[in-house]
Every structure is written in C-alpha cells, then in structure tokens.
Amino acid sequence: MSDEPTTPGSDPLIGRALVAGAAEGAVLYSSEPLSFWGGYDAETGEIIDRRHPLAGRTGTGRIMAIPATRGSSTTTAVLLEAIRRGTAPAAFLTRGPDTFLALAAIVAAQLYGRTPPVVALSPRDFETLRAITRIRLEETGAIFAY
C-alpha cells in the first residue's frame, strides 16, 4: 500500500486485492461503514439506511468506497442478492480487509459467475478516495484516478 496520495495523472494507489478483478467507474465514497442488512436495497441498488451519509444514492455499477461493513453476516446475503439481480456495486474499496464483502464476492463467483473485486487500502490511501470521482481498478489492486 502506498504512502503517497493519488491524483488524476499521478502514480496509482496500490491496495491488497482480497478478491481480484478489474472495474472502472464513478466512486461512491463514505467515511462511514454501511450495513447492507437494512441499509441496501438489493432490488434497486439504493442505499436505504436514512441515517447513512449515502442515503438515497444508488450503488449499482459504482466503485463503492466504504471503510467497512457494519453488522452481521447478513450483509453477505443481501450483497449476494444484489449481485444476482445486477444491482450491486462494480467493486468495493475498503479501509483494511472486510471479510463479509470478500465472502460475498467469492460465493457470487461460484453461484453466478460474477465477482465484484474487493480491495483493501491503508487508512491514508482510503482517505484519499474522498477527493477522487472516477477510478480504474486493475486486477493487481492498482487504482488509477482519472
């Protein structure tokens, strides 16, 4: 994991790919953890936890940057349903490893042949995402802002 923040055109952030994969798109960033159980609508992709800073926003197809999931293992079940329906984020960037997101991505690969990448970043690199609107994520865990 890098020590320097990235800006468009600079060196990439390097995260630890918990579930490898490539993705590209708009970043949906929050400094607050998210519970998918009761916080994410698997049918629509909307964040429905009204107390969360991302309430009302849609995660579908975006690069979701959240520090971690909150709550229990039911996060995995909700995320699996969103992956099955095509309403899940395209990838997840977290502040350190998140086992619930990784588990959902691994199981989705087996059940549905679809795997959203899950990449863990250092706290400093995760904070850098606050100022980045679009990224390209490579299978190696390299993240390029553009």
List the catalytic residue out of 10, 31, 72, 73. 72
Say whether 19 sits in a helix, a strand or coil. Answer: strand
Q: Is there a contact between 128 and 5 (Cβ–Cβ < 8 Å)?
A: yes
What is the CB neighbour count within 10 angstroms for residue 130? 12
Written as six digits, the tokens of 76 are 């995995």
Active site annotation includes 72: yes
| Tokens 């953890």 found at | 33
Residues with a catalytic annotation lie at 72
